[in-house]
Amino acid sequence: MMKILFMNSSPNREGNTYRIGEELLKDKEHDVLQMADYRISQYGQVFDDDEIKDVLKKIDECDVLVIGSPVYWYTVSGMLKTFIDRLYMLPEAETLRGKKLYLFAQGSAPNQDTVKSIEFLSNRLSYLMGMELKGVVTDSLDGKEILSKMKIEN
């Protein structure tokens, strides 16, 4: 059985992103990684208390990574974007290679440009990190489209 990790990249630990992720994975054994619990420095500004390697250790233990994000200013959350930015030239990011990736983003009626931007980001992330992109869905706050379109394999 594949080990599934749900990465909630919302600063709201139990908000809509978390709720949708839990509903999506309700019949599957999974762990939750709350990005709000970790301090990840901006690219080029790494501080002693940076915890990106702790996040990567948790990801290393999974086979399937399900990333959930709210849509803020027409893209994924700053937390998720900072995490992705930091993967560049970080040797520990090699742990992502071979993982199955699902990404969903929910927000208040994201427009087509937002959808394209998030799809592009997901495609580039999976390609550059050697991951297998299994699904990307962007939806409104209720997450109905995410729940109907995204099927997590295990």
Strand pairing category for 4-8 and 100-106: unpaired
Q: Span 97-104, mean pLDDT?
A: 97
User: Is residue 59's pLDDT more than 80?
Assistant: yes
Q: What's the total number of domains in the chain?
A: 1
Predicted local distance difference test score (pLDDT) of residue 148: 84
3 state SS of 115: helix
Question: The CATH number of the domain where 70 resides is what?
Answer: 3.40.50.360
Q: The tokens 């995490």 sit on which residue?
A: 83
154 in a structural domain: no
CA within 13 Å, CB half, 118: 30
- Round the average pLDDT of the chain to a whole number and report it: 93
User: Is residue 3's pLDDT more than 70?
Assistant: yes
pLDDT band at 65 (very low <50, low <70, confident <90, very high): very high
Q: What is the percent of the chain where pLDDT is above 90?
A: 79
Rounded Cα gap, residues 34 and 39, in angstroms = 11
User: Is residue 103's pLDDT more than 90?
Assistant: yes
What are the tens digits of pLDDT across the range 111-129?
A: 899 999 999 999 999 999 9
- Identify whether the C-beta of residue 131 lies closer than 8 Å to the C-beta of residue 63: no
- The pTM of this model reads 0.94
84 in a structural domain: yes
Q: Span 74-93, mean pLDDT?
A: 94
143 in a structural domain: yes
Rounded Cα gap, residues 111 and 140, in angstroms = 10
68 in a structural domain: yes
User: Is residue 110's pLDDT more than 90?
Assistant: no
Residue type, 138: T
88 in a structural domain: yes
Q: Give the range of the structural domain holding residue 102, as residue numbers without chain letter.
A: 4-149
59 in a structural domain: yes
Predicted local distance difference test score (pLDDT) of residue 12: 96
pLDDT band at 152 (very low <50, low <70, confident <90, very high): confident
Rounded Cα gap, residues 76 and 82, in angstroms = 10
Predicted local distance difference test score (pLDDT) of residue 141: 66
First to last CA, the chain: 6
